[in-house]
Amino acid sequence: MNLNNIKDNKGANKERKRVGRGIGSGTGKTSGKGHKGQKARSGVSIKGFEGGQMPIHRRLPKRGFNNINRVPYIELNIEKIEQLIVNKVIDPNKIINHKTLMDIGLVKSETSRTKLLAKGELKNKINIEVTSFSSSAKQKVETLGGSVLIVNNKKSVKEKAEKAEV
């Protein structure tokens, strides 16, 4: 094998289209751009322009509001926790925290936040760590002798930087 024997694979290099090279080429004279006008010129971008007609993005009504500062919470009902304890997915004697919920698959990411809600009945004493909770949910847990702790799941910039270095 010598350097003069090396070739590209067939079809790897495509020859560029040579415009403005006569009638026979199919792209002669106006080079496929039509006759004159704004679009025949270089450096023209008229996306969304409809020839003076009111553009569709201005004709259609705008609805709703998306708050960019919205903090999404994962709702965690007491009945769901009780069901997981009955199915022996969660051990009620251990602390139920964010890592436990991630291992089960209820929580998808480390930064997501959880809120404990009071829907359903609880029969086991549990110790749980969540980002927030409803007062009735806390009351249901504490009547059985359990505890609810608030944990901040927001990762600090410093922790992320330390993790990136390791």
Helix orientation angle between 78-86 and 135-143, rounded to the nearest 10 degrees? 40
- Average pLDDT (38-50) is 83
**The model's pTM:** 0.54
* pLDDT above 70: residue 157: no
Within a 10 A sphere around the Cβ of 12, how many other Cβ atoms? 7
The owner of tokens 């009504």 is: 61
- Is 80 exceeded by the pLDDT of residue 161? no
Q: Rounded to whole angstroms, how far apart are CA atoms 32 and 28?
A: 7
Tell me which amino acid residue 143 is. Answer: T
Please, which pLDDT band fits residue 112 given cuts at 50, 70 and 90? confident
Q: In this predicted structure, what is the pLDDT of residue 164?
A: 62
CATH of domain 73-161: 3.100.10.10
What is the model's pLDDT at position 163? 62
Is the pLDDT score of 50 beyond 80? yes
Q: Can you say whether residue 16 is alpha, beta or left, with left for phi > 0 and alpha for psi between -120 and 50 degrees?
A: beta
CA distance 32 to 16: 14
Say yes or no to pLDDT of 156 above 60: no
* pLDDT tens digits, one per residue of 87-103: 999 888 999 999 999 99
User: Residues of the chain with pLDDT > 90: what percent?
Assistant: 48
Find all residues with CB under 8 Å of 97, minimum gap 6, and list them. Answer: 128, 129, 151
For residue 101, the SS3 value is: helix
Domain ranges of the chain: 73-161
Burial class (CB within 10 angstroms; exposed 0-12, middle 13-18, buried 19+) of 97: middle
At 5 the pLDDT is 92
Mean pLDDT, residues 36-52: 84
